Amino acid sequence: MKPWRVVLDTNVVVAALRSDGGASYRILMMLDEDSFQICLTVSLAMEYEAASMRLVGETPLSRHDIEDVLDYLCSQALRRKVHFLWRPFLSDADDDMVLEAAVASGAKYIVTHNIRDFAGAEEFGIRILQPGAFLAALRRRR
């Protein structure tokens, strides 16, 4: 079975770094499985880094710990360049960056905690799911 291509919104990565008890964390722990593959662009990876580094001092994770996690994410990701710009499409430029990564990589899903922020993304054939719903979809697929 071909792995689903998925883009993780920055809030999912941050939630996974904040707590090991939720669906966001479980998604990151499944990155080495073959049921899905995360997709990244340079700008989205930089957004992950900027948001994640704000956690230093707020969580037990050190800067080095966060860098290691982000390096792992990048190593597991399908990396794509964005060759088009049609911004603004969504109400937030950071969300447009996530949508651009999904379109450029042919992703089936965007996983986010803020579904309403991606209203209109279905025009690109992309489903928007919260982390728990994404995990449920993976379980149904098996």
- Phi/psi for 20 (5° steps) reads -95, 15
Q: pTM score, two decimals?
A: 0.92
What structural domains and CATH numbers belong to the chain? 4-140 (3.40.50.1010)
Residue-wise pLDDT tens digits, 119-134 = 888 888 999 999 999 9
Mean pLDDT of the chain: 91
Please give the Cα distance from 142 to 121 (Å, whole number).
26
Q: Which of 124, 125, 99, 115 is nearest to 39 (CA)?
A: 99
Q: State phi, psi for 132 to the nearest 5 degrees.
A: -65, -40
